[in-house]
Amino acid sequence: MRETAMGKKAAVMIIHQFFSVLMTVMIAGMGYFVREKVYASMDLYGIFSIVGMAGCFVTLAYLANVTGEREDGNIHFHLIDKLPTEFILLMFVGMVVMITKLLKVMGKMEFSFAGVMVASGCLCYILDLVFLLIYLSIMRRLKGNVLITGSLIYKVYDFFKEYFSKDPKKRFRTRKARELSEIQEAIEAIAAGALETTLDESKFHGQEQDFAKAVNRIRVGLQTYAQDSIKNERMKADLITNVSHDLKTPLTSIVNYVDLLKRVNIEDEKAKNYIRIIDEKSQRLKQLTEDLVEASKISSGNIHLERQKIDFVELLYQTGGEFNEKFELRDLTIITKLPHAAVFVEADGRQLYRAVENLYNNAAKYALEKTRVYVELAVENDWAVFTMKNVSKNPIQIEQGDYNQLTERFVRGEISRTTEGSGLGLSIAKNLTHLMGGKFEILVNGDLFTATVSFPIAGK
Partner 1 sequence: MTILVCDDDKEIVEAVEIYLMQEGYDVIKAYDGEEALAVLEKEQVDLVVIDVMMPKLDGIRATLQIRKESSIPIIILSAKTEDADKILGLNVGADDYVTKPFNPLELVARVKSQLRRATVLSNGGNVPGEEIYEAKGLVMNNDLKKVTVDGEEVKLTPIEYNILLLLMKNQGKVYSISQIYENIWNEEAIGADNTVAVHIRHIREKIEINPKEPRYLKVVWGVGYKIEA
Q: Give me the residues that bind partner 1 (CB under 8 A), please.
A: 245-246, 248-249, 251-257, 259-260, 286, 290, 293, 310-312, 314-315, 317-322, 324, 336, 340, 345, 347, 349-350, 352-353
Element holding 329 (H helix, E strand): helix 312-329
Least gap, CB of 64 to partner 1 (angstroms)? 59
Q: How far apart are CA 25 and CA 207, in angstroms?
A: 59
Least gap, CB of 244 to partner 1 (angstroms)? 8
Q: How far apart are CA 248 and CA 239, in angstroms?
A: 14
Least gap, CB of 256 to partner 1 (angstroms)? 4
Least gap, CB of 259 to partner 1 (angstroms)? 5
Residue 316 or 391: the one with the smaller Cβ distance to partner 1 is: 316
SS (H, E, C) 294-321: HHHHHHCCCCCCCCEEEEHHHHHHHHHH
DSSP string, 119-184: HHHHHHHHHHHHHHHHHHHHHHHHHTT-TTTTSHHHHHHHHHHHHT-S-GGGSS--HHHHHHHHHH
Residue 29 or 349: the one with the smaller Cβ distance to partner 1 is: 349
The torsion region of residue 344 among left (phi > 0), alpha (psi -120 to 50) and beta comes to beta
Least gap, CB of 245 to partner 1 (angstroms)? 4
What dihedral angle (degrees, nearest 10) is formed by the CA atoms of 34, 38, 40, 41? -40
Q: How many CB atoms lie within 10 A of CB 10?
A: 10
- How many alpha carbons lie under 13 Å from residue 129 in its C-beta half-sphere? 5
Least gap, CB of 262 to partner 1 (angstroms)? 11
Residue 9 or 248: the one with the smaller Cβ distance to partner 1 is: 248
Residue 170 or 248: the one with the smaller Cβ distance to partner 1 is: 248
Residue 252 or 419: the one with the smaller Cβ distance to partner 1 is: 252
Least gap, CB of 340 to partner 1 (angstroms)? 6
In angstroms, the Cα distances linking 115 to 28, 36, 37, 122, 434 are 10, 14, 17, 11, 93
Residue 53 or 251: the one with the smaller Cβ distance to partner 1 is: 251
On whether the CB atoms of residues 444 and 314 are closer than 8 A, the answer is no
Least gap, CB of 255 to partner 1 (angstroms)? 5
Tell me 367's DSSP state. Answer: B
Residue 315 or 424: the one with the smaller Cβ distance to partner 1 is: 315
Q: How far apart are CA 215 and CA 183, in angstroms?
A: 8
On whether the CB atoms of residues 251 and 285 are closer than 8 A, the answer is yes
Q: β-pairing, 448-456 with 439-445?
A: antiparallel
Least gap, CB of 304 to partner 1 (angstroms)? 8
Residue 123 or 251: the one with the smaller Cβ distance to partner 1 is: 251
Q: How far apart are CA 183 and CA 192, in angstroms?
A: 14
Burial class (CB in 10 A: 0-12, 13-18, 19+), 397: exposed
Residue 116 or 258: the one with the smaller Cβ distance to partner 1 is: 258
Residue 51 or 435: the one with the smaller Cβ distance to partner 1 is: 435
Amino acid at 242: N
Q: How far apart are CA 364 and CA 324, in angstroms?
A: 10
Least gap, CB of 310 to partner 1 (angstroms)? 3
Q: Phi first, then psi: give them for residue 315, nearest 5 degrees.
A: -60, -40
Least gap, CB of 382 to partner 1 (angstroms)? 18
Residue 104 or 263: the one with the smaller Cβ distance to partner 1 is: 263
